[in-house]
């Protein structure tokens, strides 16, 4: 039976999916997911706290890192309620308004992350290729404009998606393949033609992630050309070392995205568990690994975090004495 979106908003629902056939193990499965979510929240909040409280880190590179941490935190919190709700309470039912809201935040924040990674590559390009003008080019006002433009672009492009989905009737199975709502999945449940949604989705991906990835590649091509022109081998390595953390962040974002796309397009024969795992890798691995990568590979962040923990340890020892 078709359920029009406009007829009964409160009764129209979708059903989320966990790991089918493993319902008896949901309590155990929830443990690694709780650990991942806790680590994501703690790691990104730590990065934000260190950057906010240390005046020496009030520089463009760390402002962009703070934007990345905020985006990762938001992306994590967008999926947390439904994922853990399934494992803890078997809460598989989600209303269409709530589903569309979650969809909006997941897709918007994914595009924001792509934009932030592009901004970080521009930061590295200016720092290496035009170091004398670094502080005059990447001023605080310009950084704020870059951040706001990233959010504005993502919101404006994703905002039509819920309205495009709203016009459909959903007469097929209301069972979603994941523990959260995605545009690609929901539109496939519609009774009528989805060509507009399909074309618009491809347009959004092409003009955001597609353009961003090309510009990131171009910026690193220019960086590599500049680095290779440096006479000193030690200076070349030092310049490249400042890019390592960002390169890891780019790989952590784009490799799971490409893998998930390939699985959706060519992996119909694969078990449903593979699709689920790839989707979790895409949404959870970048927010999980980015704080770890930057804490390990960025000397200034590593030193400040170690200093914070030493202070907390010394304070606890003082209280015990």
Q: How far apart are CA 260 and CA 312, in angstroms?
A: 41
Instruction: Give 13's DSSP letter.
Output: E
Split into its structural domains, the chain has a count of: 1
User: Does residue 276 lie in a domain region?
Assistant: no
User: Does residue 248 lie in a domain region?
Assistant: no
Strand partners, 93: 15
User: Does residue 310 lie in a domain region?
Assistant: no
Q: How far apart are CA 132 and CA 282, in angstroms?
A: 38
7 is written with which tokens?
Answer: 């007829």
Instruction: Give 175's DSSP letter.
Output: B
Instruction: Give 209's DSSP letter.
Output: I
Q: Which class for 25: exposed (0-12), middle (13-18), buried (19 or more C-beta within 10 A)?
A: exposed
202 is written with which tokens?
Answer: 């491809």
CATH number (domain holding residue 119): 1.20.1070.10
Nearest C-alpha neighbor of 43 from the set 290, 296, 313, 302: 290
User: Does residue 70 lie in a domain region?
Assistant: yes
Supply the range of the domain harboring residue 237.
13-243
User: Does residue 96 lie in a domain region?
Assistant: yes
User: Does residue 95 lie in a domain region?
Assistant: yes
User: Does residue 89 lie in a domain region?
Assistant: yes
CB–CB of 294/193 below 8 Å? no
For residue 13, give Cα distances in angstroms to 97, 128, 185.
Answer: 9, 52, 14
User: Does residue 266 lie in a domain region?
Assistant: no
pLDDT tens for the 321 residues of the chain, in order: 444 444 444 347 899 988 888 889 999 999 999 999 999 999 999 999 999 999 999 999 999 999 999 999 999 999 999 999 999 999 999 999 999 999 999 999 999 999 999 999 999 999 999 999 999 999 999 999 999 999 999 999 999 999 999 988 887 678 888 899 999 889 988 888 899 999 999 999 999 999 999 999 999 999 999 999 987 889 899 999 999 999 999 999 999 998 888 887 777 788 888 888 889 999 999 999 999 999 988 888 988 888 877 766 565 555 555
């Amino acid at each position: 039976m078709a359920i029009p979106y406009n007829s009964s908003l409160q009764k129209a629902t979708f059903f989320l999916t966990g790991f089918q056939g493993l319902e008896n193990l949901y309590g155990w499965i929830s443990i690694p997911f709780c650990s991942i979510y806790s680590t994501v929240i703690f790691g990104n909040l730590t990065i934000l706290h260190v950057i906010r409280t240390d005046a020496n880190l009030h520089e463009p590179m760390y402002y962009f890192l703070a934007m990345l941490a905020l985006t990762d935190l938001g992306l994590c919190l967008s999926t947390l309620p439904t994922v853990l709700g399934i494992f803890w309470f078997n809460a598989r039912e989600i209303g269409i308004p709530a589903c569309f809201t979650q969809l909006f935040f997941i897709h918007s924040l994914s595009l924001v992350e792509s934009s932030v990674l592009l901004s970080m590559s521009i930061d590295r390009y200016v720092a290496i290729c035009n170091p004398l003008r670094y502080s005059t080019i990447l001023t605080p006002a310009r950084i704020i404009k870059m951040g706001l433009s990233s959010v504005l672009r993502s919101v404006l492009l994703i905002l039509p998606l819920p309205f495009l989905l709203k016009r459909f009737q959903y007469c097929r199975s209301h069972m979603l393949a994941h523990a959260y709502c995605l545009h690609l999945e929901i539109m496939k449940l519609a009774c009528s033609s989805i060509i507009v949604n399909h074309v618009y989705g491809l347009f959004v991906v092409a003009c955001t992630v597609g353009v961003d990835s090309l510009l990131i590649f171009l910026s690193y091509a220019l960086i590599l050309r500049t680095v290779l022109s440096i006479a000193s081998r030690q200076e070349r390595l030092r310049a490249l070392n400042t890019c390592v953390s960002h390169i890891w962040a780019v790989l952590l974002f784009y490799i799971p995205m490409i893998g998930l796309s390939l699985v959706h397009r060519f992996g119909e024969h694969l078990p449903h568990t593979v699709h689920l795992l790839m989707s979790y890798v895409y949404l959870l691995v970048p927010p999980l690994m980015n704080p770890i990568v930057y804490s390990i590979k960025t000397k200034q962040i590593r030193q400040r975090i170690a200093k914070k923990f030493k202070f907390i340890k010394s304070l606890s020892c003082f209280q015990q004495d």
